Amino acid sequence: MKIQVICQDKYEATKLASLIFIKDGKETYISSILNVYENEVVISLKDKSAHSIVLKDTDQVDIFVDFIQSVLDNVNKIIDTKTISEIVEIVKD
């Protein structure tokens, strides 16, 4: 299953892709969603740090949160991420 999430800009897209998936270890690094403020998602990583990701709008937040929930519940795993300008393509099994 694959989605494309539109971030506010290229920087936010690169940050999101690098924070949620470590390609070398094939590991999902995000551990939870701490909060959502309009078009901003605050995530917690496995190292207990928190990071803010700004998406294009609230619709993109809904798409991302719905998609990532099964990963956080250990039902699915992220297998790849790719950035194309401000778009992050996320693939899960």
**Residues 54-67 pLDDT 10s:** 999 999 999 999 99
The pLDDT assigned to 25 comes to 63
- Coil, helix or strand at residue 10: helix
The pLDDT assigned to 39 comes to 96
The pLDDT assigned to 21 comes to 72
Q: How far apart are CA 39 and CA 60, in angstroms?
A: 8
Please list the ranges in the chain whose pLDDT falls under 70: 22-26
Which structural domain, as residue segments, surrounds residue 79?
2-92
- Coil, helix or strand at residue 35: strand
With 0-12 CB in 10 A as exposed, 13-18 as middle and 19+ as buried, what is 24?
exposed
Terminal CA-CA length for the chain:
6
The pLDDT assigned to 29 comes to 83
* Helix residue ranges per DSSP H, the chain: 10-20, 58-72
Asked if 86 contacts 56 with a C-beta cutoff of 8 angstroms, the reply is yes
The pLDDT assigned to 23 comes to 66
The pLDDT assigned to 20 comes to 86
The pLDDT assigned to 60 comes to 97
Give the number of domains in the chain: 1
